[in-house]
Amino acid sequence: MFKAIVSADTLGAALDSVGVLVDECKIRLEEEGLTIRAVDPANVGMVDLELSANAFESYETDGGVIGVNLDRLEDIVAMADSGQLVHLELDEETRKLHISLDGLEYTLALIDPDSIRQEPDLPDLDLSSEVVIEGADINRSVTAADMVSDHIALGVDPDAEQFYVDAEGDTDDVHLELGREDLIDLTPGDARSLFSLDYLKDMNKAIPKDAEVTMELGEEFPIKMHFGFAEGDGHVTFMLAPRIQSD
Amino acid sequence: MFKAIVSADTLGAALDSVGVLVDECKIRLEEEGLTIRAVDPANVGMVDLELSANAFESYETDGGVIGVNLDRLEDIVAMADSGQLVHLELDEETRKLHISLDGLEYTLALIDPDSIRQEPDLPDLDLSSEVVIEGADINRSVTAADMVSDHIALGVDPDAEQFYVDAEGDTDDVHLELGREDLIDLTPGDARSLFSLDYLKDMNKAIPKDAEVTMELGEEFPIKMHFGFAEGDGHVTFMLAPRIQSD
Amino acid sequence: MFKAIVSADTLGAALDSVGVLVDECKIRLEEEGLTIRAVDPANVGMVDLELSANAFESYETDGGVIGVNLDRLEDIVAMADSGQLVHLELDEETRKLHISLDGLEYTLALIDPDSIRQEPDLPDLDLSSEVVIEGADINRSVTAADMVSDHIALGVDPDAEQFYVDAEGDTDDVHLELGREDLIDLTPGDARSLFSLDYLKDMNKAIPKDAEVTMELGEEFPIKMHFGFAEGDGHVTFMLAPRIQSD
């Protein structure tokens, strides 16, 4: 049993953060809320999403897992006006999800969860640095790096107490340094890793410009990025595996 | 003789409602105003447009028929700023239409009206149901149906006193029910017909979101949709033939 | 040595006016400011740009010439918010230009100036007519002419004291006449020349709609168009060679 009412904005933000990595996913229906965990086909980017029952106008379930076509579900929710409520109800017999918004009823065929790629375990990493940064600064870094390269290095210089971004192209380079005064918070430690810009661009699409994003970074280690939405009742963690530094 | 001045907004709205179905059309110049009647090449969708002389700043004609390239004429009118006046004057000798807006003069070669597809007769149908609905609700129905199917069923359930929309895809379905409280008016009768979504999408483009649209519906019959513009001095009727129900 | 600070708006406007004609250019660094002169590969359109040291927040140089990839430089400057300052500094040793905006540092590899097409001499023509016109009227003329033809004739009728625009298509024509009251200023003389619309469209992109543009025109002669920007501290001259009239 699953029956819930939620604002289109909240549901849209939740789905979009997963949709930048995968087209289909399993949604775990739990008493405390929804969770989605997914990894892209190349095993490079992962997402862990939690949307607490508090983020919903109403939320009832006795548990279960459903498989959805994310593209389709995002399109439906995108039809709603901002602030409009979306009603969700699972039909156990037909295995269809009834979605209604302002009188319009959409019947979405679910996907067999067993046919969907297995959910990843998000490894518990001991990362040396933590940077709390505005979403707008991630956007700026990714946009600039994209002009010169397919890769981007993110790092922390503990002596200078700076977070930095490096992108090296064939002829041109991009560099950004943000000190304590430019960041929301910084727990410095030696850290530098190289990432595929394509993945970071996709993740960036789902990060609100005004979000406070907590980055955990290490030395040639994956990066974790966390941010909240829906007034703190929603939470996204992205994890991105590093590329091997070629120099 | 034809000489008229009209706001670019009014002329643009009139032309766009015909332009969604055909590229060329005949414009009938009558004492009381302009009329255009056209049918698409497949004989599925028809439009009947009336733009009363009252919709013009000034309007003089002694009658006649001109053939125009609608795409071209729409492009010219679209160059005007909102609220700007468009001057139209027919040169009988050269068979050209002089269009001037803010000092810019455009000479549009007319098309021989005999070379344009004959104007259709709009059949006088006795349709059982009448629904008065907001343009925005038509837009919503068409957008949602388009996610799942190429066809859309429109109908009235006289017992439930509801207008409804159905679209059935291979896996997903869309359904909308609007009762008396959601509609501007309803004269119920048994009605249900299936339509090609492509045509309805084109017609929808010409329907203002805030228009009151009167739909006349029957059982496996064409649909008629009427709406006014230019403060009631313009009037559009669309008619769309049904598809044969395959089930 | 070259070190300067300038608003992104001013630098962007300067670069865009050259970028509509060429992809690479030489920038001459002079005590009084920057100058760029370029001609398109077909030798049809030329641009002469001056950006006075007064247009900068700060400006220091001991002279020199640098070669730049304009597309790249325009993209970097476009990343800045309106009103943001751009810092430029030349590294003489590496021949790279350091560009920083709001903490983001971009290192742009320069191009060997000798590998860039030679700067043209802008001929000193004795043109019979001078028309001072709003940028918006040039935009209107070019947009309308583009509907009917690949060419546009610009001329002055000294008897009628009018500047005029003519475009003749296979079936349709466009004509615009602007008298003394529609122009900012007019010094009439016999003038009419035919131009390629593609070039004029490109130049039009760089002309602000609210600019006062001084056109100098002759009889089958090139046209010169001048306009200022950055509150008069920047100045652009476009010159366009005429097409031979085929009639």
Q: Which residues contact B195 (CB under 8 A, 6 or more apart)?
A: B151, B152, B153, B154, B223, B240, B242, B243
The pLDDT, as a whole number, for residue B133 is 98
Does the structure show a pLDDT above 80 at C42?
Answer: yes
Please report which confidence band the pLDDT of residue A155 belongs to, taking 50, 70 and 90 as the band edges.
very high
Residues of B within 8 A of C141 (CB-CB) are 104
- The CATH T-level fold of domain C129-240 is Proliferating Cell Nuclear Antigen (3.70.10)
Task: Establish if C76 touches chain A: CB-CB under 8 angstroms.
Answer: yes
Instruction: Report the pLDDT value the prediction gives residue B198, as an integer from 0 to 100.
Output: 97
pLDDT reported for residue B185: 98
Helix (H) or strand (E) holding A234: strand A234-240
DSSP states along C151-196: EEEEEEETTTTEEEEEEE-SS-EEEEEEETTTSSEEE---EEEEEE
What confidence score (pLDDT) does residue A81 get? 87
Give the pLDDT band (50/70/90) at residue B247: low
pLDDT at C83: 86
Task: Give the fold, CATH level 3, of C2-114.
Answer: Proliferating Cell Nuclear Antigen (3.70.10)
Residues of chain B with Cβ-Cβ distance to A76 below 8 Å are 144, 147
Which CATH superfamily hosts domain A2-113?
A: DNA Polymerase III, subunit A, domain 2 (3.10.150.10)
Please give the sequence-ordered ranges of beta strands (E in DSSP) within chain C, or none if there are none: 2-7, 24-30, 33-39, 45-52, 58-61, 64-69, 85-91, 96-101, 104-109, 129-134, 151-157, 162-168, 173-179, 185-187, 191-196, 212-217, 223-229, 234-240
Tens of pLDDT along B100-130? 998 899 999 999 999 999 999 888 899 999 9
- Sequence ranges of the domains in chain A: 2-113, 129-240
β-pair partners for A137: none
Q: Does A247 have pLDDT greater than 60?
A: no
- Angstrom CA distances, A98 to A9, A75, A76, stand at 18, 14, 11
Q: Do the first three CATH levels of B2-114 and B129-220 match, i.e. the same topology?
A: yes
- Interface test mutation site (partner C, options A141, A146, A148, max chain C beta carbons within 10 A): A148
- Rg of chain B on CA atoms, in Å: 19
pLDDT at C224 over 90: yes
- Give B145-154 pLDDT, tens digit per residue: 999 999 999 9
Fill in the amino acid letter for A73.
L
Does the distance separating the beta carbons of B104 and C140 come in below 8 Å? yes
Residue C178 sits at the vertex; the CA angle it makes with C177 and C183, to the nearest 5 degrees, is 165
Partnered with residue B236 across adjacent β-strands are: B49, B227
pLDDT for residue A246: 58
Identity of the amino acid at B104: L
Cβ-based contacts of A172 with chain C (< 8 Å): 72, 106-109
B111 shares contact with chain C (CB less than 8 Å): no
For B171-181, give one letter per residue: b (16+ CB within 10 A) or e.
Answer: ebbbbbebeee
Q: How confident is the model at residue B173 (pLDDT cuts 50, 70, 90)?
A: very high
Q: How far apart are CA B223 and CA B237, in angstroms?
A: 10
- What radius of gyration do chain C's Cα atoms show? 19
Which tops the pLDDT comparison, A247 or C34?
Answer: C34
Chain B nearest-CA residue for A76: B144
Q: For the residues A215-242, what does the mean pLDDT come to?
A: 97
Residue in B closest to C145 by C-alpha = B106
Please state the separation of Cα C61 from the chain's center in Å: 24
Q: What pLDDT sits at residue C82?
A: 81
Which of A20-24, A81-85, B36-40 has the weakest average pLDDT?
A81-85
CATH code for the domain defined by B129-220: 3.70.10.10
Q: CB-based contact (8 Å) between B72 and chain C?
A: yes
Q: Considering CB atoms only, which of A147, A177, A178 is closest to C76?
A: A147
* Per-residue pLDDT at C53: 98
CA dist A215 and A242 (Å) reads: 14
Q: What percent of chain B has pLDDT over 90?
A: 94
Partner B contacted by C182 (CB < 8 A): yes
Residue B212, min C-alpha distance to chain A (Å): 19
pLDDT (average), residues C206-218: 97
Residue C173 has what pLDDT?
A: 96
What average pLDDT does the segment C182-192 reach?
Answer: 97
Mean pLDDT score, C198-227: 97
Question: How far is residue B188 from each of residues B129, B163, B185, B243, C16, measured CA to CA in Å?
Answer: 5, 8, 10, 22, 62
**Residue B171 confidence (pLDDT) above 80:** yes
What is the structure's pLDDT at B84? 95
Give pairs for A31-35: CB < 8 Å, separation 24+: A31/A61, A31/A63, A33/A59, A33/A233
pLDDT grade, residue A123 (50/70/90)? Answer: confident
pLDDT at position C191 over 90: yes
Residues C85-130: tens digit of each pLDDT: 999 999 999 999 999 998 899 999 999 999 999 999 888 899 999 9
C149 in contact with chain B, both atoms CB, cutoff 8 A: no
Judged by DSSP in three states, C32 sits in coil
Picking from C101, C111, C100, C119, the residue whose alpha carbon sits closest to that of residue C38 is C119
pLDDT at C212 over 70: yes
Flag if B178 and A103 touch (Cβ within 8 Å): yes
**Interface membership of A106 toward B (CB under 8 Å):** yes
Name the residue of chain A whose CA is nearest to B141's CA. Answer: A104
pLDDT exceeding 90 applies to what percent of chain A? 94
Residues of C in contact with A138 (CB under 8 A): none
Q: Nearest C-alpha of chain B: how many angstroms from A109?
A: 6
Q: What is the pLDDT of residue A103?
A: 86
Residue A245: band (very low, low, confident or very high) from pLDDT cuts 50, 70, 90: low
pLDDT recorded at residue C123: 87
- Encode pLDDT of A176-203 as tens digits: 999 999 999 999 999 999 999 999 999 9
**In chain B, what percentage of residues exceed pLDDT 70?**
99
- Closest partner residue to C172 (CB to CB) among B79, B102, B107 is B107
Q: What is the ipTM of this complex?
A: 0.87
Q: How many CB atoms lie within 10 A of CB A115?
A: 8
pLDDT band at B245 (very low <50, low <70, confident <90, very high): low
pLDDT score at B114: 95
